[in-house]
Amino acid sequence: MDGSIKHVQFGPFELDAKRLTLCVKGQPLALGPRVVETLLALVERAGEVLTKDEILERVWRGADVEEGNLAQNVYLLRRTFQAYWRQRVIETVPRRGYRFVPEVRFVDARARPAVKQSQGWTRPISSLRRPLAAAGALVLTLSLATASRGPAPAAPPHLSQQGAQLYQLGHYYWTLRTRDGFAKSLRYFAAVTQVDPRSPLGYAGLAEAYAVMPSYNVNVVPAKVAMKRAWSYTHEALARDPLSSEAHAVLGYLQREKGTQPEAGRSEFERAVALDPNNAAAHLWLGGMFSDMGRAAPARSEFEIAERLEPASPATEAWLASSFFASRDYAAAVDRLHRALDLDPLREDALQKLGAVEAQRGHLGSALDAALRLATACRCSASPAIVRAYAYAKSHRTTEARAAMSTALRNSGKMISADVAFVYAALGDRDRALWWLRRSVHEEPGAGAALALDPRLDPVRNDPRFARWMHVVGAQT
Q: How many angstroms separate the CA atoms of 410 and 416, rounded?
A: 11
Q: Which of 53-57, 114-118, 290-294, 367-371 has the lowest mean pLDDT?
A: 114-118
What pLDDT is attached to residue 16? 85
pLDDT of residue 365 exceeding 70:
yes
Average pLDDT, whole number, for the chain?
81
pLDDT in tens, 380-403: 888 999 999 999 999 999 999 999
The mean pLDDT of 190-202, rounded to a whole number, is 94
pLDDT in tens, 79-128: 778 777 777 888 888 778 888 898 888 776 554 444 443 333 222 223 33
Any bridge partners for residue 16, and if so which? 7, 21
pLDDT in tens, 268-302: 999 999 998 889 999 999 999 998 888 888 999 99
Residue 316's Cβ-count burial label (10 Å; 0-12, 13-18, 19+) is buried
pLDDT of residue 311 exceeding 90:
no
The mean pLDDT of 37-41, rounded to a whole number, is 89
What pLDDT is attached to residue 155? 39
The mean pLDDT of 206-215, rounded to a whole number, is 94
Q: If you count them, how many residues does the chain have?
A: 477
What's at 315, amino acid-wise? A
Q: State which of 113-122, 209-218, 422-431, 440-449 shows the largest mean pLDDT.
A: 422-431
Residue 129 near residue 168, CB atoms below 8 Å? no
Residue 73 near residue 303, CB atoms below 8 Å? no
What pLDDT is attached to residue 136? 35
Nearest to 97 by CA among 159, 150, 49, 161: 49
Q: How many angstroms separate the CA atoms of 25 and 66, rounded?
A: 34
Q: How many angstroms separate the CA atoms of 252 and 126, rounded?
A: 20
Distances (CA, A) of 148 to 12, 77, 132: 15, 15, 10
Question: Domains of the chain by range and CATH?
Answer: 1-113 (1.10.10.10), 125-148+158-308 (1.25.40.10), 314-476 (1.25.40.10)
Any bridge partners for residue 13, and if so which? 10, 24
pLDDT in tens, 455-470: 999 999 888 888 776 6
How many other CB atoms are found less than 10 A from the CB of residue 236? 18
Any bridge partners for residue 90, and if so which? 100
Residue 60: pLDDT band (50, 70, 90) is confident
Residue 104 near residue 5, CB atoms below 8 Å? no
Contacts of 63 (CB under 8 A, 6+ apart): none
